[in-house]
Amino acid sequence: MNTETMTQGNTDKIELNYGGREFSFPVVVGSEGEAGVDIAKLRSSTGLITLDPGYANSGSCRSAITFIDGDKGILRYRGYPIEELAMKSSFLEVAWLLMYGELPTKDQLATFTHEITRHTLLHEDFRRFFEAMPKAAHPMPVCASAVAALTTFYQDAAEAKDSRTSIVRLIAKMPTIASYAYKHSIGQPFMYPRNDRAYEANFLRMMFGTPCEEYEPDPVIAKALDLLLILHADHEQNCSTSTVRLVGSSKANLYASISAGISALWGHLHGGANQQVIEMLEQIETEGGSADHFIARAKDKNDTARLMGFGHRVYKSYDPRASILKKTCSDVLARTGVSSKLLEIGMRLEEIALHDEYFVQRRLYPNVDFYSGIIYKALGIPVNMFTVMFAMGRLPGWIAHWLELNADPDFKIGRPRQIYTGSPKRAYVPIASR
């Protein structure tokens, strides 16, 4: 095979010399100056494909939803800095922004909030779905299955065409689904949603209330939850969002696509990391609280321990969401009066890691999960529900990407290629001769 070289000829095309022939491919530039080479015609013109395990260098789509600059620690939804949205907005407003591209007007937000509030109830038959699950089940697969099962309750063709109703149903019912998964696991009765509560307060009541007495969520706690949901609402083409897009690209409906996203989020290298952060901090506490010892383990190549909540595929500086949460973390702990032992260990870990050559060289900084786990713990959210909280927050982002995908003039079913490394052609061997 001839040697192939790829050189950037100028700012608007890439030249490729392969097999004695020259090819050129256009450079596409995004609105923030991000440049990429458009290789849509690569295979048809050269016979080559690209090989990029983990897709670290591959753009799968054009998207106008979220901008991240991982080197500078920038995150913006539809152009608005996450810091401003965190301070001034609300989760439902951010959800609208992500899905429809602009901040809602007063009337739009009022109507949207009204619709969400009035779609929170689950079909009564759905209760049996939760009751059929083992009590020890992790709530993530329960939620993923429940969201997929929404298709069985709402399967009319009209809904498939008018995604607006599906969207409202999904955002409205997700807290109910999440709380039912939890209530079933602890053997308490399901709490019906109430229309006189705001989104987060309603969820907290369904989680922690019982029919025996009224439960009033602390507004500071409800606000902290609102903030966490905003910070998790989108993060461009991560594993779960790409999953939603890939499943959606087969024209699977919204519920089926989101259910796949929930499953993708469950893994501990993605949404499951905040659960692992708490487990790591608790383990360090049980073993005497030595952060230094754990740091040494995380650096040791012969030890499988990793500093959970540290490092990010995209952020190679401080995750801006972690900066926002660091402050909220102290506020919530002060308000709830929860023991801050875990936070103390977390702070110590962070301090060591930020000055340790191993972490500095690899540009490993705290990510959003480092603090979200500690806050959820202080809010009384059980550890195995942390990822469910992440899913609840990520919902509008997933929906926004599903909508964008379906409206894309370049829409194509997702179908990557591969470099085959298996056996060459060989003859079948009858079982008697093997």
Ligand X SMILES: CC(C)(COP(=O)(O)OP(=O)(O)OC[C@H]1O[C@@H](n2cnc3c(N)ncnc32)[C@H](O)[C@@H]1OP(=O)(O)O)[C@@H](O)C(=O)NCCC(=O)NCCS
Contact footprint for ligand X (CB under 6 A): 269, 273, 298, 306-313, 362, 364, 367, 369
Catalytic annotation on 369? yes
**Which of 226, 234, 356, 369 is the catalytic position?**
369
Query: For residues 175 and 309, which CB has a smaller minimum distance to ligand X in the complex?
Result: 309
- Strand-by-strand arrangement of the 66-69 sheet: 66-69, 74-77, 80-81
Q: Residue-wise over 91-118: b if at least 16 C-beta within 10 A, else e? A: bbbbbbbbbeeeebeeeeeeebbebbbe
The rounded Cα 348 to chain-centroid distance in angstroms is 27
Q: How far is the CB of 386 from ligand X (least distance, A)?
A: 12
Q: How far is the CB of 319 from ligand X (least distance, A)?
A: 8
Task: Residue 28: name the closest of 74, 69, 68, 63 by CA.
Answer: 63
The rounded Cα 308 to chain-centroid distance in angstroms is 16
Query: For residues 306 and 335, which CB has a smaller minimum distance to ligand X in the complex?
Result: 306
d(CA 170, CA 396): 9
Q: How far is the CB of 350 from ligand X (least distance, A)?
A: 12
Q: How far is the CB of 309 from ligand X (least distance, A)?
A: 5
Q: How far is the CB of 262 from ligand X (least distance, A)?
A: 16
Q: Please, what is the angle between helix 273-286 and helix 368-379, to 10°?
A: 70
Query: For residues 171 and 364, which CB has a smaller minimum distance to ligand X in the complex?
Result: 364
Query: Residue 37 forms beta bridges with which residues?
Result: 27
Residue 24 near residue 11 (C-beta atoms within 8 A): no
19 contact partners, CB below 8 Å, separation of at least 6: 1, 2, 4, 46
Catalytic annotation on 319? no
Query: For residues 194 and 362, which CB has a smaller minimum distance to ligand X in the complex?
Result: 362
Q: Where are the alpha helices (DSSP H) in 187-319?
A: 199-208, 219-232, 239-248, 254-265, 273-286, 291-299
Query: For residues 319 and 404, which CB has a smaller minimum distance to ligand X in the complex?
Result: 319
Query: For residues 21 and 293, which CB has a smaller minimum distance to ligand X in the complex?
Result: 293
Q: How far is the CB of 29 from ligand X (least distance, A)?
A: 25
Compute φ and ψ for 301, nearest 5 degrees.
Answer: -65, -20
Which residue has the closest beta carbon to ligand X? Answer: 311
Q: How far is the CB of 150 from ligand X (least distance, A)?
A: 27
**Which of 235, 312, 319, 401 is the catalytic position?**
312
Query: For residues 152 and 283, which CB has a smaller minimum distance to ligand X in the complex?
Result: 283
d(CA 313, CA 315): 6
Rounded to whole angstroms, what are the CA distances from 89 to 82, 93, 113?
Answer: 10, 6, 14
Task: Residue 321: name the closest of 229, 411, 251 by CA.
Answer: 229
Q: Which residues are catalytic?
A: 312, 369
